Structure 1
Amino acid sequence: MHIVRYRSDSDPRPRIAVIDEGVLSTLPVAGMFELLNHRIEDIERMCADAVPDRVLGEVRLLAPVDGATEVWAAGVTYLRSRDARVEESDLKSVYELVYDAERPELFFKSPAWRVVVDGEPVGIRSDSELNVPEPELALVVNRFEEIVGYLVCNDMSSRSVEGENPLYLPQAKMYAGACALSSGIRPAWEVDPSDLAIRLTVTREGAVIWDGTTSTRQIRRPLTELTAYLFHSENHPHGAVLSTGTGIVPELDFLLHVGDLITVSIDEVGELRNPVVAGKDHFRFLSTP
């Protein structure tokens, strides 16, 4: 089962539904933001009571965030991520310290309207030589700080921009096409997130040029610790999505090219496939009503 946002040809208004074996069952909420205003037990009950409506082929799946829901991300939560940041940076101790520190690194990634979904393009910065995908498990958290589901996230990043100076992190992480999420939220009551396999594959002209795997068991911090820091001094009235960091980072000599196809899959959660483009003009559709 997954929870999705969708739009049909007969009704252009986005709707929320449960999808199970290709059948959609619409939920009685105006948007994902309203769903995240409910406690997890209420969301589970709504999903169980939903009545089948239409088949998947009749609709278009949309990004699984809307309203004032924000996407945040955690950094340096895997040992591989720490090592990669140290490798690329002139200020290595910053990343070594944050990996072991009590407080995690958290940063704003995207408002809901800038998120791209499965099949849509992701972007690389034209002013950066070293751009990489970062495959991550993302948490969907309601306004009450409860983890209600999981998504696949591609936290696109410019390693050369961040490596030049850690203060450039916003430019390395937040730009057109930098945040991709899978279309379906896998409910938390159906998944044990403690040991999920994560895989990244990059294909160029039909051939696999890079692939790697990791597991969520390699993450250093408990997921509830990350959400506690996210909610510690801020309200999230429409809930939030929190991506939990990457354990897969290609080597420094790996360069993404325009036209590459990035595939991120997480067992029991979903798959995310996005072609690579360069330049903000490719993402004007995100701001079109």
Structure 2
Amino acid sequence: MRIIRYVNDKGIPQLGAVTESQQIYDLPYKDILEVVEIAKLHHMTPSALVEEVINDSLPLEKSLEELRLLVPIEAQEVWAAGVTYEKSRDERNYESTGGQSDGPTFYDKVYDAERPEIFFKSTKERTVGPEQDVYLRSDSTWQIPEPELGLVVNGSGDILGYTVGNDMSSRDIEGENPLYLPQAKVWRHSCSIGPAIRLAETVADPYQIQIICRIYRGETLVFEDSANTNQLKRKFDELVRYLVKDNVVFDGTVLLTGTCIVPPNDFTLQDGDRIEIEIPGIGTLNNPVKSQVNEKLVK
């Protein structure tokens, strides 16, 4: 069972449920957090509550492709984990040393450390949803998407669901100095999530989830690769435990869990590209790429 948000015929955001048969039903709730809250009051799982509601409803006459989808949750904060895959560690090392490292680096150390790398990524004002533009930093010349599985959590660290995330990254800025990480990760429209949230209890094994990334330049596919969450070095509950430790975590926070898909070192995103990140069972997150200079966003 998947939860979506879309613009209804009255131009108002509407919560919906998507069944395994791809039928879409409107839900009488504000967001997934209200679904979880009402389900808890009735001693039900969120998926059981949704099933009960849609049993007395008729599906929409539109397909998912015909809807104008919004971010599936307006997360006050999005956080991210780094160096959770071996591939990520290797690419961070390349960024910082140009492939010339002759010994262990701090990326090697964090990969093997007890404490994971957890960093702040975005706010709801910086985060976009399906079909919305992600922006390139104007002071970076080496930028890539980072396709990731996102965990939707509450303030106690319970995993409510899973979504698709894009943690845009400026490799040259982070590679110049690791203290520049906030600038390499956080800027306007530097994060996208969607198109849906898969309810946690409907996922049989979160460590057998495939992630696929495709990048198009015009109509040409210029990059494609895939990975699986079974390649993760760390477990999700470990990442969440460190996120909530001594922290204020808002209900509906999204935690991106790291990437194992990195384009070649000579690749950088360009204005007009399109990023497509697919996680079967959740959906495909599409985002056009725009230059902030071309968009004339300086205020």
Q: TM-score, normalised by structure 2?
A: 0.86
Q: 1:158 to 1:133 in 2, by over 3 A?
A: same
Q: CA deviation at 1:59?
A: 4.6
Q: In the alignment, which of 209, 212, 222 is matched to residue 199 of structure 1?
A: 212
For 2:31, the equivalent position in structure 1 comes to 31
Q: 1:37 to 1:231 in 2, by over 3 A?
A: farther
For 1:144, the equivalent position in structure 2 comes to 156
1:74 equivalent to 2:81? Answer yes
Separation in 1, partners of 2:249, 2:121: 15
How big is each residue's C-alpha offset from its partner over 1:101-141, in whole Å with a ceiling of 9 and x where there is no partner? 11111111111232211211111112101000111111111
Report if aligned partners of 2:173, 2:183 keep a CA contact under 8 Å in 1.
Answer: yes
Alignment RMSD = 2.3
Secondary structure at the counterpart of residue 83 of structure 1: helix
* Residue range with higher mean Cα deviation, 240-249 or 228-237: 228-237
Separation in 2, partners of 1:230, 1:97: 19
Gaps of 5+ in 1: 285-289
How big is each residue's C-alpha offset from its partner over 1:122-161, in whole Å with a ceiling of 9 and x where there is no partner? 1111210100011111111133322121111111100001
Amino acid at match of 2:191: C
Q: Which protein is bigger by CA-based radius of gyration? A: 2
How big is each residue's C-alpha offset from its partner over 1:46-71, in whole Å with a ceiling of 9 and x where there is no partner? 212223353445753211122x6321
Q: CA deviation at 1:282?
A: 4.5
1:45 equivalent to 2:44? Answer no
Separation in 1, partners of 2:244, 2:133: 31
What percent identity do the matched residue pairs reach?
A: 42
For 1:4, the equivalent position in structure 2 comes to 4
TM alignment of 1:177-196, pairs within 5 A: 177-191=189-203, 192-196=205-209
TM alignment of 1:48-67, pairs within 5 A: 48-51=51-54, 52=57, 54-56=60-62, 59-66=67-74
Separation in 1, partners of 2:188, 2:196: 22
Equivalent pairs, count: 282
Separation in 2, partners of 1:134, 1:218: 15
Report if aligned partners of 1:156, 1:173 keep a CA contact under 8 Å in 2.
Answer: yes
Secondary structure at the counterpart of residue 196 of structure 2: coil
Separation in 1, partners of 2:226, 2:242: 27
Amino acid at match of 2:53: A
Separation in 1, partners of 2:77, 2:169: 18
Q: CA deviation at 1:77?
A: 0.2
For 2:277, the equivalent position in structure 1 comes to 264
Q: In the alignment, which of 234, 256, 279 is matched to residue 292 of structure 2?
A: 279
For 1:127, the equivalent position in structure 2 comes to 139
For 2:247, the equivalent position in structure 1 comes to 234
Q: CA deviation at 1:215?
A: 0.9
How big is each residue's C-alpha offset from its partner over 1:16-66, in whole Å with a ceiling of 9 and x where there is no partner? 221224543333432344345565944223212223353445753211122
Q: CA deviation at 1:280?
A: 7.2
Report if aligned partners of 2:80, 2:119 keep a CA contact under 8 Å in 1.
Answer: yes
1:88 equivalent to 2:75? Answer no
Gaps of 5+ in 2: none
